[in-house]
A = this chain, B = another copy of it.
Amino acid sequence: MAHLNGIKFYKSYKAGEPIVWAGDEVDFVASVVGGVATLTQTMEDGRRQMVGLLLASDFIGRPNRETVAYDVTAISDVTLCCFRRKPFHEMLVKTPHISQRLLEMTLDELDAAREWMLILGRKTAREKIASFLSIIARRETIAEGGDVGTNVAFELPLTREAMADYLGLTLETVSRQMSSLKRDGVIQLEGKRRVVVPDFNSLLNETGDDSDGGVLV
């Protein structure tokens, strides 16, 4: 573990700055220290789908691959803790503990991707927004070591457009559904970005997910 410290270095990016483009060769892997970054795929005609939302402690890159498959973009000011790929990979081979940890993290991401697939493939626009909000609420409050009680408030890390790319919607639809949830008293907005959830369960009811299965671990 101490050896890990020997090969690490930090990089910072301003909000909006690209970190790497799909197809780029990158000689490091990294872990997010602070800020928010996104993984996105773009089609020729400009349609875009977010495929990863990276918050603190999330991992970027494949130990074994030289190139990156997705655009990685800093969406707020971001700091990365980077490791040169080669020494990192060697260490991975020597330190089974780390590769097991990495496996666990990857399996978690895979689970998240699969939940995301359900959202993209089968949920209505309103359910998509509600699901997104509850996911963010969970991640934010868990990051703060808090519990998801009845009264939750948090800051959206994404613009409406980025939310649209996350959810496979247009930004107009996102905006309309946010307004609709607000009209119906499910959420309150303080400014454009701060969301207050007076009753978290009523938000969960809007997600379309198995109700009260969410004991909120």
Chain A contacts with B in 180-217, Cβ cutoff 8 A: 208-211
Q: Does any Cβ of B come within 8 Å of A150's Cβ? A: no
Chain B residues with Cβ below 8 Å from A209 are: 43-44
Chain B residues with Cβ below 8 Å from A117 are: 41, 49, 51, 113, 116-117, 120
Scan A95-128; emit 1 where CB is below 8 A from any B CB, else 0. Answer: 0100110111011011101111110111000000
Q: Does any Cβ of B come within 8 Å of A158's Cβ? A: no
Q: Does any Cβ of B come within 8 Å of A88's Cβ? A: no
B168–A49 contact, CB under 8 A?
A: no
Known: A41-B117, A120-B168, A121-B168. 13 other contacts (CB 8 A): A43-B118, A44-B210, A45-B208, A47-B122, A48-B122, A51-B114, A64-B107, A69-B114, A99-B103, A102-B103, A106-B106, A106-B107, A120-B120
11 pairs of residues in contact across A and B, judged by CB atoms under 8 Å: A43-B122, A43-B208, A43-B210, A49-B122, A51-B114, A69-B111, A93-B96, A96-B99, A99-B99, A103-B103, A120-B121
